[in-house]
Amino acid sequence: MTLPDTAPPHPLAPAAVAALLHHSPALLFLAEGEDLAWRYVTPRFATLTGATAGAVLAAGWRDFCHPLDLQALLAAWQARRPGDGLAPSLPLRLRAAATAPAADGWHRFDCLIEPALGGGWAGSLTDAQGRHDAATRQARLLLELRRRASGGLALIRSMVSRTLEASGDTAHFAAHLSGRLGALSRIQLLLARHGDALASLEEIVREELLAQAVHEAAALEVEGPEVLLPDGAAAALGLALHELAVNAAKFGALSRPRGRVAVTWTRLPALDGQPERLRLRWQESPGSEPPVDAAARHRGFGRELLEQGLPYELDAVTRLDFLVDGLRCEILFPLPQGAAPPPPGEGCA
């Protein structure tokens, strides 16, 4: 038994052809003449632009094109060789309907025009909006990366300079700089973990305490509502918490057998024109041991960061109290844009 080389094509019913045209992801049109007068367009054009079929036929389609793209397309059409179409395709923006998801009101396509069988022109408008959106997101990510890198380098330069000024020898400088760079690294890992350039305040607090080898639950109290901080606020507050944790491990509560640290925070509602704020309290309790060592009171990078850096970076109000029962630090600052909303029904102190 021999099979024919080619099977005869099965003709499609008109309803099937109409269905194919209706569901085609590309906008298809037929045009005639050198002025590209449209005589047919698939229904999706009307769905996208909100136009009626009659409004886009003949030369009406031009009213829905972005003026600059239309000018470029018509110039390329006039410059082509007679009888040729437009290949490769050209970008063409169409006015989007109010219900269409277009940020700037225009939907992007690649326009291709070729000679049609039997005369005239066959054209396709292939959706390019997704490619454009991806390129826009990538450009924004690169700008954000440059901004964060620039801010991070400026912070590191300041940190190196201030650490060097406060260091008596190379070993002191190396140890303190290594610890501060480690804190910045931990914050960047937390920011990357969320994938949206936000870091959990609770995770920042616990990471800095764990970095000082504080593992016993009896020595810690960490409590507060969920708060997500953007990169700048996370870096500034994370460094401040690092300085408090290092100070507690060297001179304060965490240097004593029965010492403990409580870190608590509360969201304060927006009132009287003030934005929503966060109040964070660091409280050390050395128990029956002597109060905080006087050596912890010198004005180094850590104290300067708390009393001058945070007010500058976060518009914060900070207070350090060297009390008989342990060091207390309070930080009050406006919550940056992007912090997570409080859980429903949560009260504020």
Do 132-334 and 14-127 have the same topology in CATH?
no
CATH of 14-127 given 3.40.50.970, 3.40.50.920, 3.30.450.20, 3.60.21.10: 3.30.450.20
Measured over the CA atoms of residue 260, residue 174, residue 240 and residue 211, the dihedral's sign is negative
User: 3-class SS at 284?
Assistant: strand
What one-letter code names the amino acid at 284? Answer: E
pLDDT in tens, 194-248: 766 789 999 999 999 888 877 666 678 999 999 999 888 998 899 999 989 988 8
Q: Which fold has domain 132-334?
A: Heat Shock Protein 90 (3.30.565)
Domain ranges of the chain: 14-127, 132-334
Residue with tokens 């367009």: 41
User: Does an H or E element contain 261, and which?
Assistant: strand 260-268
pLDDT in tens, 245-276: 988 888 888 888 888 899 999 999 888 778 89
Question: What is the C-alpha radius of gyration for the chain, rounded to an integer number of angstroms?
Answer: 33
pLDDT in tens, 31-81: 999 999 999 888 888 888 888 878 889 999 999 999 999 999 999 999 998
- Which pairs with CB-CB distance under 8 Å and at least 24 residues apart come from 187-196? 187/234, 187/235, 187/238, 187/239, 190/234, 191/231, 191/234, 194/228
Question: In whole angstroms, how far apart are CA 309 and each of 145, 199, 344?
Answer: 23, 20, 33
